[in-house]
Amino acid sequence: MTYQNTIARLQGVIGANGPSWAAIDPENAARMVIQNRFRTGLDIVRYTADIMRADMAAYDADPAQYTQSLGCWHGFIAQQKLIAIKKHFGSTKRRYLYLSGWMVAALRSEFGPLPDQSMHEKTSVPALIGEIYTFLKQADARELGLMFRALDKAREAGDAVEAKRIENAIDNYETHVVPIIADIDAGFGNAEATYLLAKKMIEAGACALQIENQVSDEKQCGHQDGKVTVPHEDFLQKIRAIRHAFLELGVDNGIIVARTDSLGAGLTKQIAYSKEPGDLGDQYNSFLDCDEVDPANITNGQVFISRNGKLLAPKRLPSNLYQFRPGTGEDRVVLDCITSLQNGADLLWIETEKPHVEQIAGMVDRIRAVIPNAKLVYNNSPSFNWTLNFRQQVYDKWVAEGRDVSAYDRAKLMSVDYDGTELAAEADEKIRTFQRDASARAGIFHHLITLPTYHTAALSTDNLAREYFGEAAMLGYVKNVQREEIRQGIACVKHQNMAGSDIGDDHKEYFAGEAALKAGGVHNTMNQFEAA
């Protein structure tokens, strides 16, 4: 509905209620309506799920149309990211948000910083989703408020052309609200617990939920050791639980991202149930590391399975976990991915130990032989040493090509001594084009960085502390922060405006008219930045 149509609708509502509503200005009310387009989290889910589905179809038609996101651990961080995207690129198209369970555990738990082992409060995840969208909606309200003020100025100046231009801009306004892919870890319990948490996350605004095939009470960060996977049927129950949660809430096109940690997980907690040779349970058990049993040498407490007429004893650790045969990781990944897509998942996530296009593509090729439109969400993880990995990839390629690498020590390629070399330049170019190349070759629809704002917050705070508490003192803040905010047009230099001061003034005027005591008068120090 257009700006003028919204005013007209509310004018009718107000008029229909007689003289007692006469003090309500329909244009002021219309502005508040337009500034609050999304009333509930489910409004957000339905809007963003449509966006994500359209983007998935666009990627299927052209792999150059991949999507991206950055992980955010606070609503303000997410808000500033989207404001920056709109400022620099003019549109949020194909740019999403990612909510990292790692960052929730490390930064949002009432217990304090925790490792990524699902020990934090499960309710902190939907709470963060809600917080993020509160900040994004506030960014809309702020930006639209500035447009309304500009409209008033144009009208006061009698500039009808400019007023009409601004009205058109309001009618075609692009929101800061974008899809979020939210981490539900391993579901925080059984399938029922997964369903209950999924509902809370969906109601908070998440259109895409990412779940992994680890054991809930043994869950580890995807880049740590000690990961334990579950049989396929256990995982598929949780995928079905999430789908039921979406459907119950009226979200018919919600997105499920099925993550497999099998590439780095060498352990399982249980032997899968199997009824006949070759069924899914039997396929899972076929990866177990077993020894053939001599009935004469059976020992106390041994567990056995039968395979091809033989009695086998799976290798069991003192932890009561069973181990898989070495070298089976990729085969298990492929089976995990195919079965997930066959049972309701929409996208895949393969957690790898390094960012290598051909390694990912090798697995995706096998998956696509069964499910041709399979596509991935991929973690461009800060746990990877990107510089060292890609320099070593270039080094290995040069060796294969017969080039002279005598000037380089492969184990020390991270050294600053190599920064200006041809090898380093080629590696950096491969890093620059990694997302494009991996989307074209390896079926990656969405690239995300899980923890970028964790690292940027640490780096910028370290730099400020070094300067402010050192010789630079106040100049350390002014030169490196405030002056750069002004020069680069960072909206937060006017922090009162960013926190909603102008929105509050508008409301005061709507509610109190000439009696409004507004904060944005001539004595507001924020006015010092008008000439910035």
Q: Within its chain, how far is the Cα of 464 from the centroid? A: 28
Q: Could you tell me the CA-to-CA distances from 437 to 317, 429, 433, 442, 443 in Å, in that order? A: 41, 11, 6, 8, 10
Contact call for residues 375 and 257 (beta carbons, < 8 A)? no
Burial of 67 (0-12, 13-18, 19+ CB in 10 A): buried
DSSP string, 136-185: HHHHHHHHHHHHHHHHHHHHHTT-HHHHHHHHHHHHTPPPS---EEEE-T
- State whether residue 306 is helix, strand or coil: strand
Amino acid at 506: D
Q: Is 207 an active-site residue?
A: no
Burial of 266 (0-12, 13-18, 19+ CB in 10 A): buried
Buried b (16+ CB within 10 A) or exposed e, 139-163: bbbbbbbebbebbeebeeeeeeeeb
Residues in contact with 62: Cβ distance below 8 Å, sequence separation at least 6, in sequence order? none
The catalytic position among 72, 207, 221, 337 is: 221
d(CA 334, CA 321): 22
Contact call for residues 194 and 187 (beta carbons, < 8 A)? yes
SS (H, E, C) 71-112: ECCCHHHHHHHHHHHHHHHCCCCCEEEEECHHHHHHHCCCCC
Measure the CA dihedral 470/472/473/477, to 10°: -120
d(CA 377, CA 236): 19
Contact call for residues 104 and 89 (beta carbons, < 8 A)? no
52: nearest Cα among 297, 347, 288: 347
∠ CA 401-404-408, nearest 5°, is: 115
Structure letter (DSSP) for residue 271: P
Considering Cα of 271, then 266, then 319, then 109, what sign does the dihedral take?
negative
Write down how long the chain is.
532
Structure letter (DSSP) for residue 292: E
Contact call for residues 445 and 56 (beta carbons, < 8 A)? yes
Q: Which residues are catalytic?
A: 221
